């Protein structure tokens, strides 16, 4: 009894210490700000849990190889794939670059989802290329082709007269192995996001997310926010979607299993079918059986759940504080919800009851024409349309440059810095963007300073 009291007292004390905005991941926040800042387990992870993290990390980093090999635990690559490891697109657990500086081939970290509109209006996966475009392949199988980007310059100006240039990417598919994509194809580019704090996002209480959903915009603020309802293969029912650029996956387990099969061609008990379409006979011939065991898929999932979030920098800088005020003043927080207290359902204590600062409402928003996958509005991923994106969390943004060597943002990396990322906002975020355009220069700079401190 006495012991329990002491423990409770200690818990309360530590909760208060780490409930400040300085510690975005609560007590598990990592203090390391080196290039490895995104790669640490929640602080204080010890013993068997830390080792499981290591095993998961090993299968996250390691290259998958062509079967049969003398390394059976890591074989089963392909037959078609985007990359041979998770790391390839989430280098150092960070964010993919997506696009080159000038016209040319797209980066390996950028993948494309493909949908086809049937004559009756139904949207299905592409008949010849499947649900995802895979440029690479194992020996004896044809890769699906190459993607190039050609930029178009968009010029605009702030209210004070300062001008800006955005680079709109146009994607060109070449050397297509299964013939033309066709006019009825919807192409959705997606870049690999940073891996930090995912277990905490998974542990945000469903009621907290639902509370902010406003699909009919009843409060009339111009911002709706829809929940993506997705089919869970684990639960065999429709549940709340949380992960992926369109919140298309309900849990990290399903997100990881889907990424394994879609991106690397690694099948598992959850997704046993390789991405070979009926015309890809070479792919069909070389397909392998279940490639990653349930056990190891769980380890990778635990790894993704335990990755920490780095401590805030320049937290007390007056200009950062002022930038935070601007953030709220122009209504960024309407979708980029600053904070939650996580639930208590995780098997990992470090993820439970933590005050966290991810800056996302986890909901879908129409982001306007410029960012839409297609000028036509269709369902693209479960309930999410071609125009809708899930609000991405903002934590870690300021460290992307150090860790990944670039400052490219948004779903395909088209924004070359944070200012451009804001300027691309449209649709429901149009008003916030327009407010940004009207700000005086020092306020704009403070806002960016604030974002960089996250």
Footprint of other proteins (CB under 8 A): 30-32, 34-36, 40, 43, 46-47, 50-51, 53-55, 57-58, 61-63, 65-66, 68-74, 83-85, 87-89, 91, 108-109, 139, 296, 299, 405
Rounded to a whole number of angstroms, the minimum distance from the CB of residue 100 to other proteins is 13
Helix (H, G, I), strand (E, B) or coil at 359: coil
CA distances from 295 to 195, 261, 300 (A): 21, 16, 9
Residue closer to other proteins by CB (options 189, 248) is 189
Residue closer to other proteins by CB (options 73, 437) is 73
How many angstroms separate the CA atoms of 319 and 346, rounded? 37
How many angstroms separate the CA atoms of 314 and 312, rounded? 7
Return the closest-CA partner of residue 437 out of 427, 447, 452, 450: 447
How many angstroms separate the CA atoms of 359 and 308, rounded? 16
Helix (H, G, I), strand (E, B) or coil at 123: strand
Rounded to a whole number of angstroms, the minimum distance from the CB of residue 154 to other proteins is 29
Residues 389, 246 contacting (CB under 8 angstroms): yes
Q: Which element (helix H / strand E) includes 322?
A: helix 318-329
Rounded to a whole number of angstroms, the minimum distance from the CB of residue 368 to other proteins is 31
First vs last C-alpha separation in the chain = 41
Residue closer to other proteins by CB (options 318, 405) is 405
Residues 314, 320 contacting (CB under 8 angstroms): yes
Residue closer to other proteins by CB (options 156, 405) is 405
Residues 233, 251 contacting (CB under 8 angstroms): no
Residues 364, 165 contacting (CB under 8 angstroms): no
Rounded to a whole number of angstroms, the minimum distance from the CB of residue 449 to other proteins is 25
Paired residues of 356 in beta bridges: 340
Residue closer to other proteins by CB (options 91, 424) is 91
Residue closer to other proteins by CB (options 42, 454) is 42
Residue closer to other proteins by CB (options 57, 383) is 57
Rounded to a whole number of angstroms, the minimum distance from the CB of residue 69 to other proteins is 6
What DSSP state is assigned to residue 268?
A: -
Residue closer to other proteins by CB (options 138, 326) is 138
How many angstroms separate the CA atoms of 186 and 279, rounded? 19
Rounded to a whole number of angstroms, the minimum distance from the CB of residue 184 to other proteins is 31
Rounded to a whole number of angstroms, the minimum distance from the CB of residue 165 to other proteins is 28
**CA 129 to the chain's CA centroid:** 23
Residue closer to other proteins by CB (options 17, 184) is 17
How many angstroms separate the CA atoms of 337 and 339, rounded? 6
Rounded to a whole number of angstroms, the minimum distance from the CB of residue 343 to other proteins is 26
**CA 316 to the chain's CA centroid:** 29
How many angstroms separate the CA atoms of 269 and 250, rounded? 17
Longest dimension (CA), the chain: 73
Residue 298 CB neighbour total at 10 angstroms: 16
Residue closer to other proteins by CB (options 108, 451) is 108
Residue closer to other proteins by CB (options 189, 225) is 189
How many angstroms separate the CA atoms of 131 and 218, rounded? 35
Rounded to a whole number of angstroms, the minimum distance from the CB of residue 46 to other proteins is 8
Rounded to a whole number of angstroms, the minimum distance from the CB of residue 108 to other proteins is 4
Tokens of 103: 């016209």
What DSSP state is assigned to residue 415?
A: B
Rounded to a whole number of angstroms, the minimum distance from the CB of residue 393 to other proteins is 22
- 163-174/110-117 β-pairing: unpaired
Residues 178, 280 contacting (CB under 8 angstroms): yes
Residue closer to other proteins by CB (options 105, 222) is 105
Rounded to a whole number of angstroms, the minimum distance from the CB of residue 351 to other proteins is 18
């Amino acid at each position: 009894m006495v012991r329990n009291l002491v423990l409770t007292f200690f818990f309360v004390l530590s909760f208060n210490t780490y409930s400040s905005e300085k510690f975005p991941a609560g007590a598990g926040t990592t203090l390391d700000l080196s290039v490895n800042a995104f790669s640490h387990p929640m602080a204080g992870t010890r013993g068997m849990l830390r080792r499981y993290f290591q095993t998961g990390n090993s299968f996250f980093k390691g290259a998958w190889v062509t079967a049969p090999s003398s390394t059976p635990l890591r074989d089963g690559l392909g037959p078609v794939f985007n990359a041979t490891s998770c790391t390839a697109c989430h280098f150092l657990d960070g964010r993919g670059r997506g696009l080159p500086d000038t016209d040319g081939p797209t980066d390996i970290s950028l993948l494309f989802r493909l949908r086809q509109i049937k004559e009756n209006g139904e949207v299905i996966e592409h008949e010849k290329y499947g649900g995802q475009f895979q440029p690479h392949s194992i020996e004896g199988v044809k890769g699906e082709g190459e993607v190039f980007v050609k930029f178009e310059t968009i010029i605009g100006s702030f209210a004070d007269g300062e001008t800006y240039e955005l680079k709109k990417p146009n994607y060109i598919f070449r050397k297509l192995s299964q013939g033309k994509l066709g006019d009825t194809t919807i192409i959705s580019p997606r870049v690999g996001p940073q891996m930090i704090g995912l277990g905490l996002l998974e542990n945000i209480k469903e009621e907290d997310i639902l509370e902010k959903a406003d699909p009919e915009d009843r409060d009339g603020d111009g911002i709706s926010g829809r929940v993506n309802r997705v089919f869970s293969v684990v639960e065999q029912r429709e549940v709340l979607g949380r992960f992926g650029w369109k919140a298309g996956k309900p849990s990290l387990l399903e997100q990881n299993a889907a990424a394994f099969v879609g991106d690397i061609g690694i099948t598992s008990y959850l997704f046993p079918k390789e991405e070979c379409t009926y015309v890809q006979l070479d792919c069909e011939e070389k397909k392998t059986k279940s490639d990653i065991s349930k056990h190891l898929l769980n380890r990778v999932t635990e790894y993704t759940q335990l990755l920490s979030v780095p401590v805030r920098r320049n937290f007390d800088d007056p200009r950062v504080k002022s930038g935070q005020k601007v953030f709220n003043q122009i209504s960024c927080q309407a979708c980029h919800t600053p904070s939650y207290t996580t639930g208590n359902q995780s098997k990992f204590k470090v993820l439970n009851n933590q005050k966290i600062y991810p800056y996302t409402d986890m909901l879908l928003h129409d982001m306007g024409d410029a960012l839409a996958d297609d000028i036509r509005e269709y369902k693209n991923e479960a309930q999410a349309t071609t125009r809708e994106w899930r609000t991405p969390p903002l934590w870690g943004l300021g460290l992307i440059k150090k860790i990944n060597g670039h400052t490219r943002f948004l779903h395909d990396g088209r924004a070359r810095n944070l200012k451009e990322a804001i300027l691309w906002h449209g649709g429901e975020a149009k008003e916030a963007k327009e407010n940004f355009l009207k700000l005086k220069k020092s306020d704009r700079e403070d806002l960016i300073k604030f974002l960089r401190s996250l």
